[in-house]
Amino acid sequence: MEKGNPKFSWLAAALVLAFGLILTYVLQQAAMENERRVQRELFSFESKEIIQSIERRMTAYDHVLHGTRGFFRGSEEVSRGEFKRYVDALSLARHYPGIQGVGYSVIIPAQDMAQHIESIRKEGFPNYTPHPQGKRNIHTSIIYLEPFDKRNQQAFGYDMYSESVRRAAMERARDSNESAMSGKVTLVQEIDKRVQAGFLMYLPVYRNGSPHQTLAQRRANIIGWVYAPFRMNDLMDGILGHQEKEVVLTIFDGESTAPEALMCETEGFAAQEIGAYHNAETISVAGHTWTIQIRSLLAFDNMVDREGSLIRLVAGILISLLSSLLIWQLMSGRVRAFRLARRMTEELRNSESALKQAEVIAGLGSYVLDARTYMWKSSKILDDIFGIDEKFDHSVDGWFRLIHPEDRKMMAEYFENHVLGQKKSFDKAYRIIRPSDGAERWVHGMGELEFDEKGNISLMKGALLDITEQVRAREALAERADHMLTSLKTTLAAFSKSVEARDPYTAGHQLRVAELAAAIAGEMGFDSDRVQGIRMGASIHDIGKIHLPADLLAKPSKLSDIEFQFIQTHAQVGYDILKDIESPWPIAEIALQHHERIDGSGYPHGLKEGQICLEARIVAVADVVEAMASHRPFRPALGIEAALDEIRQKRGTAYDADVVDACLTVFQEKGFSL
């Protein structure tokens, strides 16, 4: 059988098509197995992220308590107003969502009970009485709790030491001089019908100037506890938000998973929705153990990379069809495009994006700056953040030396103008260089001003948060977005070449339309991102022609009505191919609407001006100008002047007036050429 025989050509093309489809199936199965492996790794990663988020946030709450205790240590006596201002400066709802509040419980010697009640009542609480009442060896009372809202007011005056679970944690904190977390309790703040499990964290406060190195000294010199109450469901919402929406998170108190130990569980799912992946770990927080179970939902198990699967499937079928067509064309002497098909195969290979990990470690320190001496006192946590010790020069000059050289001018102007000049709160992120290890860190400083009787600044009290990992995480996210955009560009470029290979008469058509559309968008004042989207959409606007016979695309004579109607289907086909590809731009709508006209005379749906997206209106003008100015199979090129006359005459009827004006400007005034 001779190679010129049409039967031999079709047989060879059929064999290539069959091989390509089989290869596509094999590769698709291998890719799906790889996706399942990635899914297992993703579940493990998300489980660790959830557990680490809980641990990091609980560490941050511990820092809040240490900062509050440092505030008590730095003052002879802390008044109710001073305590409120300090807690307000922490911005708990903003920086530490999930915490119910920060409070102080004082120990009341039995002989001082009457005097204590009288002093609190004089502060404006005539009904104040520590509760529950009764004779006990030790009495305590919650005297400060901020924010002092309706819920927290229920705990005012409560003797936490009277209850065994709370008492065990308070004693453990007292004896260890460390934070201690209680077991599962019901907070006295529970005023809703739907009661949540709760727990508390305590940190002891010892009498200023008294020793507390030994157990006996600690028990003798303790005067109270700073503490934080937590409602479990509110806490998890504050820590995780919607992070666990595709998994079920269950937390038990201690190592038992009995129903009575349940602290919280993700709601809103049925038992049959539980998936196949499961992870269980125990963590220790402030000397107390939690058991954390994480299970996947079917929604997670069934989750696949639809974009990647679609691209692989479409690319495989397109490559198979294109390779088959090219073999047939080569053997019949019509085109020599085998090398192009091989290059396209190389270019359409999928690359996997690596999962990133971003740790966000919170660190909080407190300080008090004396505006008269420009000297500041700081907590140990703040010194650790700065990488300094007590020998460091705790002056404003010393602080400026810690600031990164590139940020010093900015911070000097901010401190002089904003804080000292305008007498506004300090709230600024900046970089430091730690003397202890030379490391560069990002910190966020906050401070509230206090004034003397003459209105001059006397003190600035505030806190410092280490935000280095947050900054690095944002940078990593931005980098990943760039990688995703590059992947999208590669996919669209491959699709564009697939179309061009089917229709040699319009080679480069989509590229020229994309360049003209981008120039028009720029002239209309679009930002660079939107211009980029129009360029990408225009470069693939004829992807639907992949389903049309090559003979029809290259027909040298006028099309019949039936043939023209068949040609018109490419807009809808292009939309169907592109609609499921995630993109920040309306690339699918551009493919669907670029033949629509604002007077309703276009196709495929006869849309009018308000129904056609602006990007598609721009590509429509660019498409008409390029098509008329270029050679077509059924006619020679008409020239650029004829093309511009066409859009000028139909300005405001078929074509958007603003788009036409911009197109005429780029050609006649900006020197654009095809």
DSSP assignment of 98-116 equals: T---EEEEEEE-GGGHHHH
Lowest mean pLDDT among 83-92, 120-129, 318-327: 318-327
Q: What is the pLDDT of residues 125-139, one digit of tens each?
A: 999 999 999 888 899
- Residue entry with tokens 């291998």: 30
**Residue 481 or 220, more confident:** 220
Are 181 and 162 within 8 A, CB to CB?
no
Q: What is the pLDDT of residues 568-583, one digit of tens each?
A: 888 998 898 888 887 8
Give the Cα separation of 54 and 56 in Å (integer): 6
**Residue 6 or 105, more confident:** 105
**Residue 540 or 1, more confident:** 540
Torsion angles phi and psi, residue 110, rounded to 5: -55, -40
Q: What is the mean pLDDT of residues 545-574?
A: 79
> Can you give the pLDDT at residue 475?
80
Give the pLDDT band of residue 265 (cuts 50, 70, 90).
confident
Q: What is the pLDDT of residues 507-549, one digit of tens each?
A: 478 889 999 999 999 999 999 989 999 998 998 888 888 777 7
Are 326 and 341 within 8 A, CB to CB?
yes
Torsion angles phi and psi, residue 374, rounded to 5: 60, 30
Q: Is the pLDDT of residue 346 over 60?
A: no
> Can you give the pLDDT at residue 563?
77
Residues 6+ apart with CB under 8 A from 441: 385, 431, 432, 434, 466, 468
DSSP 349-364: ---PPPPP-------E
High-pLDDT (> 70) share of the chain, %: 81
Question: Strand order of the sheet with strand 247-253?
Answer: 262-265, 247-253, 288-297, 274-285
Look over the chain and give the mean of its residue pLDDT values, rounded to a whole number: 83
**Residue 244 or 662, more confident:** 662
> Can you give the pLDDT at residue 332?
54
Q: What is the mean pLDDT of residues 334-347?
A: 43
> What sign does the dihedral 224-228-232-236 (CA atoms) show?
negative
Q: Is the pLDDT of residue 238 over 50?
A: yes
Amino acid at 271: A
DSSP 319-359: HHHHHHHHHHHHHTTS---HHHHHHHHHHT---PPPPP---
> Can you give the pLDDT at residue 340?
42
> Can you give the pLDDT at residue 162?
94
Residue 584 burial (CB < 10 Å; 0-12/13-18/19+)? middle
DSSP 634-662: TB----HHHHHHHHHHTBTTTB-HHHHHH
How long a stretch of residues is the chain?
Answer: 674
Q: Is the pLDDT of residue 360 over 50?
A: no
Q: Is the pLDDT of residue 244 over 80?
A: no
HEC profile for 138-164?
CEEEEEEEECCCHHHHCCCCECHHHCH
- Residue entry with tokens 């511990």: 62
Q: Is the pLDDT of residue 155 over 80?
A: yes
DSSP 508-537: THHHHHHHHHHHHHHHTT--HHHHHHHHHH
For residue 64, give the nearest of 232, 201, 234 by alpha carbon: 201
Q: What is the pLDDT of residues 623-653, one digit of tens each?
A: 999 989 888 777 788 899 999 999 999 999 9
Give the pLDDT band of residue 13 (cuts 50, 70, 90).
low
Q: What is the pLDDT of residues 48-64, one digit of tens each?
A: 888 888 888 888 899 99
Q: What is the mean pLDDT of residues 616-621?
A: 95
Give the pLDDT band of residue 271 (cuts 50, 70, 90).
low
**Within its chain, how far is the Cα of 207 from the centroid?**
45
> Can you give the pLDDT at residue 324?
60
Give the Cα separation of 351 and 123 in Å (integer): 68
Give the Cα separation of 252 and 261 in Å (integer): 5
Q: Which domains does the chain have, with CATH numbers?
A: 1-72+309-352 (no CATH), 75-237 (3.30.450.350), 364-466 (3.30.450.20), 489-674 (1.10.3210.10)
Give the Cα separation of 336 and 208 in Å (integer): 90
Token readout for 320 is: 């198979």
> What sign does the dihedral 299-304-305-309 (CA atoms) show?
negative
Q: How many helices (H) and strands (E) does the chain have?
A: 24, 14
**Residue 503 or 344, more confident:** 503
> Can you give the pLDDT at residue 356?
29
Amino acid at 640: I
Give the Cα separation of 23 and 148 in Å (integer): 68
Strands, E assignment, 404-516? 426-433, 440-451, 457-466
Mapped onto helix, strand or coil, the DSSP state of residue 168 is helix
DSSP element (H, E) containing 475:
helix 468-502
Angle in degrees, CA 520, 524, 530, rounded to 5: 80
Q: What is the pLDDT of residues 160-175, one digit of tens each?
A: 999 999 999 999 999 9
Token readout for 303 is: 């989750």
> Can you give the pLDDT at residue 358?
27
> Can you give the pLDDT at residue 130?
95
Give the pLDDT band of residue 337 (cuts 50, 70, 90).
very low
Give the pLDDT band of residue 14 (cuts 50, 70, 90).
confident
Are 76 and 208 within 8 A, CB to CB?
yes
Buried b (16+ CB within 10 A) or exposed e, 215-250: eeebeebbebbbbbbbbbbbbbebbbeeebebbbbb
Give the Cα separation of 49 and 239 in Å (integer): 11
Are 365 and 90 within 8 A, CB to CB?
no
Give the pLDDT band of residue 434 (cuts 50, 70, 90).
very high
Which DSSP state fits 610?
G
Q: What is the pLDDT of residues 482-493, one digit of tens each?
A: 666 666 666 666
DSSP 379-413: -HHHHHHHT--TTS--BHHHHHHHB-HHHHHHHHH
> Can you give the pLDDT at residue 160?
95
**Residue 120 or 277, more confident:** 120
**Residue 244 or 616, more confident:** 616
Q: What is the mean pLDDT of residues 614-621?
A: 95
Q: What is the pLDDT of residues 441-496, one digit of tens each?
A: 999 999 998 988 888 888 999 999 888 888 888 887 767 756 666 666 666 666 66
Q: Residue 132: is the preceding peptide bond cis (ω within 30°)?
A: yes
